[in-house]
């Protein structure tokens, strides 16, 4: 008896192959596109043979109170919807997922949207959403007997991969762009024992090089071109639906970098609808930084049919990506759900990040594009006040403390970048002040602090 019920289907030409037959770079031998995991059994089971959605919903909730490692994982408690392993006993888990969904009190009020929430994926074991995809893909790596795993990364993938590799007893290789990743993330890769190479290249260059390397040596590629990553990363969609009692929010807003996450969440909602677990899909919108916006340009030029890579620049280093691998999948999610793709400036990102901090949540800069994007969508009349909106916060605020400190010290943005937003920026800044060690000086500092 195997737990494995999947095959791979090429997103481009539709070719189907067994999971074990994928090439090391996870590209289709016929057309070069990426694969998606599919479960042929699901479509064959119709009528009374369909999975009993009521029983599954009950089981998944029940597992939350179990003491089994697999049940305690917010990914594997949904394992009926990711049968990718020969044995679920091979899963490598750090009890990822089950992340909180917070109501955003202040932003709700400011934007006039009552039902505004943040799904905080930064509350995962290594501090980002990558853990949900790493548990699934690392488990496949271990089951298939690999000794080495590798990724190119803007930081979070490498932190997650290094942690899960260490748990699995595998060696890990990280390629990162020199000087362009946040220290918190680099420190994690070191702490978890990865071989870390800083290259004089951007993320896109690192991924291109790694693609060559995995063809020359038996190393398992763990970037989101690996379709098993997306299987874990689809599970926050299940958690969100569960949190809304199996209704879905009207609108989900996701940051876009290499575009694996938006693709995965879209897949999660699509599968739930196909299996009759939910009745509809939310609109899914993808927000990019203005300096790293190839998908936004693609939508403007060809409604997501062609993509021209760009040279990427943004202080939100996690999404500093000019040639996103999963762009076709993400474009389809946006098109199928009636979502939007837009970009936001460096100042808009910084202000939104500070606002999320002031809600007591905090997140890393790349996550804050979601709130910045929501503000734009709301201003353009694309989101009504009675809609339920969920922002996906992808990384923890401590990942990039330098960015936060620079913002509050007033050294983050250039004059040009801040132009027109000075008042809003200054209202948000809370720089630490040096004062005498006396009660009078501290009380005076309190009194002179803005609102
Ligand atoms: N937010 C954070 C915090 C990220 O680390 C990333 C991607 C994204 C958003 C974008 O997600 O690539 O699926 O569209 N970080 C990758 C990395 C590229 O290497 O850590 P995406």
Question: Is the CB of residue 157 below 6 angstroms from any atom belonging to ligand 1?
Answer: yes
Cα 434 to its chain centre, rounded Å, is 38
Ligand 1: atom nearest CA of 263 is 13
Question: Is the CB of residue 257 below 6 angstroms from any atom belonging to ligand 1?
Answer: yes
Q: Do 294 and 263 touch, CB atoms closer than 8 A?
A: no
Question: Is the CB of residue 261 below 6 angstroms from any atom belonging to ligand 1?
Answer: yes
Judged by phi (left if over 0) then psi (alpha if -120 to 50, else beta), residue 380 lies in: alpha
CA of residue 132 to ligand 1 center, whole Å = 13
- The owner of tokens 């490692």 is 69
Best mutation site among 257, 268, 325, 326 for ligand 1 pocket (most ligand atoms within 8 Å of CB): 257
Question: Is the CB of residue 259 below 6 angstroms from any atom belonging to ligand 1?
Answer: yes
Question: Is the CB of residue 224 below 6 angstroms from any atom belonging to ligand 1?
Answer: yes
Ligand 1: atom nearest CA of 367 is 1
Q: Do 66 and 73 touch, CB atoms closer than 8 A?
A: no
Question: Is the CB of residue 319 below 6 angstroms from any atom belonging to ligand 1?
Answer: yes
Ligand 1: atom nearest CA of 260 is 13
Q: Would strands 219-221 and 148-152 be described as parallel, antiparallel, or unpaired?
A: parallel
CA of residue 258 to ligand 1 center, whole Å = 7
Nearest alpha carbon, ligand 1 atom 10: 257
User: Would you tell me how many other CB atoms lie within 10 Å of the CB of residue 112?
Assistant: 12
Best mutation site among 255, 334, 371 for ligand 1 pocket (most ligand atoms within 8 Å of CB): 255
Beta bridge partners of 101: 119
What is the spatial distance between Cα 330 and Cα 265, in angstroms, rounded to a whole number?
Answer: 9
Nearest CA to 252 out of 362, 370, 369 is that of: 370
For 102, 105, 109, 147, the CA distances from 359, given in Å and listed in that order, are 10, 7, 12, 43
- Find all residues with CB under 8 Å of 134, minimum gap 6, and list them: 96, 126, 157, 160, 161, 163, 164, 222, 229, 232
Nearest alpha carbon, ligand 1 atom 12: 258
Tell me which residues of the chain have a pLDDT lower than 70.
1, 47-49, 450-451
What is the spatial distance between Cα 175 and Cα 186, in angstroms, rounded to a whole number?
Answer: 11
CA of residue 156 to ligand 1 center, whole Å = 7
pLDDT digits (tens, 9 = 90+) for 108-143: 999 999 999 999 999 999 999 999 999 999 999 999
Nearest alpha carbon, ligand 1 atom 7: 318
CA of residue 81 to ligand 1 center, whole Å = 24
Ligand 1: atom nearest CA of 223 is 19
Ligand 1: atom nearest CA of 399 is 3
Write down the pLDDT at residue 49: 67
Ligand 1: atom nearest CA of 363 is 3
CA of residue 318 to ligand 1 center, whole Å = 5
Question: Is the CB of residue 394 below 6 angstroms from any atom belonging to ligand 1?
Answer: yes
């Amino acid at each position: 008896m195997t737990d494995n019920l999947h095959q791979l289907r090429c997103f481009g030409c539709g070719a189907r192959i067994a999971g074990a037959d994928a090439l090391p770079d996870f590209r289709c031998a016929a057309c070069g596109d990426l694969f998606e995991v599919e479960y042929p059994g699901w479509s064959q089971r119709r009528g009374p043979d369909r999975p009993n959605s009521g029983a599954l919903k009950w089981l998944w909730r029940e597992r939350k109170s179990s003491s089994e490692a697999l049940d305690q994982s917010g990914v594997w408690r949904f394992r009926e919807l990711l049968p990718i392993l020969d044995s679920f006993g091979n899963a490598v888990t750090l009890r990822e997922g089950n992340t909180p969904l917070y109501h955003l009190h202040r932003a709700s009020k400011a934007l006039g949207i009552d039902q505004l929430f943040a799904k905080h994926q930064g509350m995962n074991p290594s501090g980002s959403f990558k853990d949900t995809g790493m548990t699934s893909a690392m488990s496949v790596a271990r089951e298939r007997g690999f000794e080495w795993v590798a990724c190119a990364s803007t930081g979070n993938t490498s932190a997650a991969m290094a942690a899960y590799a260490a748990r699995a007893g595998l060696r890990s290789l990280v390629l990162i762009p020199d000087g362009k990743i946040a220290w918190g993330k680099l420190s994690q890769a070191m702490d978890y024992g990865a071989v870390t190479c800083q290259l004089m290249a951007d993320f896109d260059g690192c991924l291109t090089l790694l693609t060559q390397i995995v063809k020359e040596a038996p190393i398992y590629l763990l970037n989101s071109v690996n379709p098993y990553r997306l299987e874990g990363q689809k599970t926050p969609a299940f958690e969100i639906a569960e949190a809304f009692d199996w209704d879905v929010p009207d609108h989900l807003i996701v940051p876009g970098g290499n575009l694996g996450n938006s693709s995965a969440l879209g897949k999660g909602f699509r599968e739930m609808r196909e299996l009759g677990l939910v009745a509809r899909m939310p609109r899914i919108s993808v927000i990019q930084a203005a300096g790293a916006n190839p998908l936004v340009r693609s939508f403007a030029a060809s409604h997501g049919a062609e993509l021209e890579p760009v040279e990427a620049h943004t202080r939100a280093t996690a999404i500093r990506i000019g040639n996103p691998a999963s762009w076709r999948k993400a474009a389809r999610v946006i098109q199928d759900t009636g979502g939007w793709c837009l970009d936001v400036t460096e100042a808009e990102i910084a202000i939104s990040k500070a606002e999320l901090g002031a809600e007591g949540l905090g997140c890393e800069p790349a996550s804050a594009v979601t709130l910045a994007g929501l503000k734009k969508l709301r201003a353009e009349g694309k989101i009504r006040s009675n809609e339920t909106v969920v922002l996906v916060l992808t990384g923890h605020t401590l990942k990039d403390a330098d960015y936060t400190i620079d913002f509050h010290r007033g050294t983050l943005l250039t004059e040009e970048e801040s132009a027109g937003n000075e008042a809003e920026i200054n209202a948000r800044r809370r720089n630490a002040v040096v004062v005498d060690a006396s009660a009078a000086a501290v009380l005076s500092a309190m009194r002179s602090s803005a609102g």
